[in-house]
Each structure stands twice: as structure tokens, then as C-alpha cells.
Amino acid sequence: MTDKTILRALKGEVLPTPPIWMMRQAGRYLPEYRATRAKAGDFLSLCYNPELAAEVTLQPIRRYGFDAAILFADILLLPQALGPKLWFETGEGPRMETTTTMGQVNALKPTEAIHDTLSPIYETVRILAAELPKETTLIGFAGAPWTVATYMIAGKGSKDQAAAHLLKDTDRPTFQALIDRIAEATVEYLSMQISAGVEVVKLFDSWAGSLKGQDFRDFATAPTARIIAALKSRHPDIPIIAFPREAGQGYIGFGHQTGADCVAIDNSVSPEWAAANVQIDGCVQGNLAPEHMVTGGQALVAATQHVARAFRNGPHIFNLGHGITPEADPANVQLMIDTVRAG
């Protein structure tokens, strides 16, 4: 039996104190991250510099002693490796050359070519596997196909994913071909992360909540199941966390339907609901509202205790319902951790 608490929870063990890590735990709320990013020059340069990417991954582990480190990278590195140009506009986020026609899908680079671009990411994993404390689990990740496709189609993030929905509804063959290409590449990308040393992988479907009914089943559930099945066939022991954010009722049965070992839950559903409807099937991760990392105080303590209490009868990894925001106070992160570990 491993002594890594996250791996134990992912195997279904109910622990007296839940293991804890935080989405975007390496990020702009930390002064040491801001200093390292300034040294790198820009965000993409930081992602592709193995030494600096490993450094920012390690920073929250040194500061807080989280039970897991998550590889510092970005979900858009994979589509960039397929050929479309990617850049970041200061204050506005990512911009990407769009992929909206069958010709453009067919012109994407072959899947095996992605490793030419992504090799620095695998080197970051190797550095981390060597340098992390022995009790700390290393998590790798990728974006799920629907979420990645929304950026590839629109060329940027959006609140309603309208461009992706339009392509899905008006040119299904092109849309399906793009989803298939992303899924195929994601398997290879995550498989290489696993071979380099990650111990868990997570699929972030940040925009899954905008898919409804059959579309959710076709473009959130099915591609995730396909990726997980392929990874498990190559790496039978790798635990996989799936995060179909804002799935609502779609969370129910998602672990069984996809083969995921754990379902991460956002904070649009209550922990009691998630315990009753999702945790009954296995491990859940979540789901403290990220705004508590900004506001802190007794409300943070009470909300943290509420989440931990709601999930205490089943396997649980304590986390936020989404990523920590840049304006968060580092002291509030420590207060959250102290509250979880105090029981």
C-alpha cells in the first residue's frame, strides 16, 4: 500500500483527513511565482522552460506542503503542438489561429509530431519526479476535447462557447473530426507524461457545462471515456481524475460512464448533493468556492469544514471548485489547509 494519501483516496480508501491540493496552486497569487514568471519573460516561455516550469510547480509545495503537485503547463499547448499558432494577449488571455473547416482539420500535424513541440513538458515532468518530496503525488493533465475545441474554433475563450456550438450544429462532420483529432493527440500527450513520471492524470473539461443532453454524452462523456480507455490499456495502474465542470446532473454516473477513478466537482453544486449522487460511486474531488481564498476569515473556516464534513464518509480529495484566482491571499490558503488538517 502506498503512503501517498492521494493515491490511496483514488483507490477508494476513506481517510480520516482528506488529502489536499488546489487547482492553479502555482500561480499569480504567489509572489515567488510572479518573480519566476518575470524571469521567464512571458507565459509561454515559462511553460516551455523545464527548469523554470519545475520551479513554479515546486513553489506551492515548499510553501504549503500540499499532498500533490500539478505539472505547470497549459491546456492550449497540445493544440499548439498540432499546428495552430498560439499567443497570449496581456490582460486578455490566449489567442489561437482558428480551426473551423475540414481542410484545416486535415492540415493539422500528425499526432506523432506533437512530441517535437511538447518535449520540454516531458522534461519538466522528469525534473519534478526527481525533486518532489517522496510523499507528494505528481499530477499531469490535459484539456478534454470539447474544451480544447472551443478555443481552437473561436481562437479565444468565451463565456458561452458560441462559435463551437455553431460549428457543432451546422457542420457536424468537421466538428466530430476535430474532436477525434484532439482525443487521439491527448492520449499520446498524457501517455508521454505518464512515461516521464506523473502518477495521476486529470482531464479538465472546463466548458462541459454548456453541453446539454445528447451533446453532453457525445462530446463530454464519450471522448473522455475513449481517452481513459486508451490510457488504461497502456498504463493499467494510472489513476485518472475527470472534471466536467458545471455538469450538474451530468456528474451523476460520470465516473462509471468514463472509467474515471475520481470525479472533480465544481462549486455550483452542494457538497451534500455531490456526496449523495456522485461520491456513492467512488472518489470525488472538490469543492470549496474559490472566492473564499480572497475573502478569508471565519466564512472560509466554516465553508472548509462544511465541505470536509459532507464528504467524510467516502473517498475524498479536498480541492477548490475551480482554480484559485490571482487576487487570492496566500494566507487564506494556509488557513484552509490548517482547517482541513485540524479535522
- The answer to pTM > 0.95 is yes
At residue 280 the predicted structure's pLDDT band, cuts being 50, 70 and 90, is very high
The architecture CATH gives domain 71-264: Alpha-Beta Barrel (3.20)
* Active-site annotation, residues: 24, 28, 37, 74, 151
Query: Any idea where the domains of the chain sit in the sequence?
Result: 1-24+274-343, 71-264
At residue 3 the predicted structure's pLDDT band, cuts being 50, 70 and 90, is confident
Percent of the chain at pLDDT above 90?
A: 97
pLDDT per position as a tens digit, 155-199:
999 999 999 999 999 999 999 999 999 999 999 999 999 999 999
Q: Are 307 and 319 in contact (CB under 8 A)?
A: no
- Gap between the Cα atoms of 45 and 186, Å rounded: 22
Lookup: cell for 312: 467524510
**CA-to-CA separations, 222 to 103, 180, 188, 216, 218, in angstroms, rounded:** 24, 11, 17, 8, 5
pLDDT of residue 89: 86
- Residue 256 has phi, psi (to 5 degrees) of -65, -40
At residue 92 the predicted structure's pLDDT band, cuts being 50, 70 and 90, is confident
pLDDT per position as a tens digit, 246-267:
999 999 999 999 999 999 999 9
Q: Is the pLDDT of residue 273 over 90?
A: yes
Closest-CA residue to 283 (of 202, 168, 177): 202
pLDDT of residue 343: 86
Q: Which long-range contacts (CB under 8 A, 24 or more apart) does 107-112 make?
A: 107/83, 108/82, 108/83, 108/84, 108/181, 109/81, 109/82, 109/83, 111/181, 111/184, 111/185, 111/188, 112/188
Q: Is 300 left (phi over 0), alpha (psi -120 to 50) or beta?
A: alpha
pLDDT per position as a tens digit, 124-155:
999 999 999 999 999 999 999 999 999 999 99
